[in-house]
Chains A and B, each alone.
Chain A
Amino acid sequence: MIRGTIIVATDICKACELCITACPQDCLEMSPNLNVKSYHYVQLKNDTCTGCVNCAIVCPDSAITVYRQVKTTPKGATV
Chain B
Amino acid sequence: MEPVANIDGMELVYKKPHTLTDTPMHYCPGCSHGVVHKILMEVIDELGIQEETIGVAPVGCSVFAYEYMNIDMQEAAHGRASAVATGIKRVLPNKYVFSYQGDGDLAAIGTGETVHTVNRGENILMLFINNGIYGMTGGQMAPTSLIGMKTTTTPFGREASTMGNPLKITELLAQLPGAYFVTRHSVHNTAAVRKLKKAIAASFKYQKLNKGTCFIEVVSNCPSNWKMTPVESNEWLEKNMFPFYPLGDIKVPKS
Contact = CB atoms under 8 A, between A and B. Distances in A.
A53 B13 contact: yes
B189 interface: yes
Interface of B is mostly: mixed
Contacts of A18: 30, 230-231, 234
B1 to A, nearest CB: 9
Given A16-B29, A16-B30, A58 B9 contact: no
B10 A62 contact: no
A62 B13 contact: no
B33 A58 contact: no
Interface residues of A, number: 31
Contacts of B187: 58
Contacts of B62: none
Contacts of A45: none
Nearest to B223: A16
Contacts of B32: 60
Interface in B156-173: none
Contacts of B190: 22, 54, 57-58
A5 B13 contact: no
A68 B231 contact: no
A67 B231 contact: no
A3 B10 contact: yes
B239 interface: no
Interface string A8-35: 0001101111100110000000000000
Contacts of B20: 62
A12 B194 CA distance: 23
B230 A62 contact: no
Contact of A60 (B7, B30, B231): B30
A56 B16 CA distance: 8
7 contacts: A11-B24, A57-B190, A58-B35, A59-B38, A62-B16, A67-B7, A69-B9
Interface of A: 3-5, 7, 11-12, 14-18, 21-22, 39, 51, 53-54, 56-62, 64-70
Interface of B: 3, 6-17, 20, 24-25, 27-35, 38, 187, 189-190, 193-194, 223, 229-231, 234
Given A17-B229, A18-B30, A69-B10, 9 more contacts: A12-B24, A14-B29, A17-B231, A21-B231, A58-B187, A60-B34, A66-B12, A69-B9, A69-B11
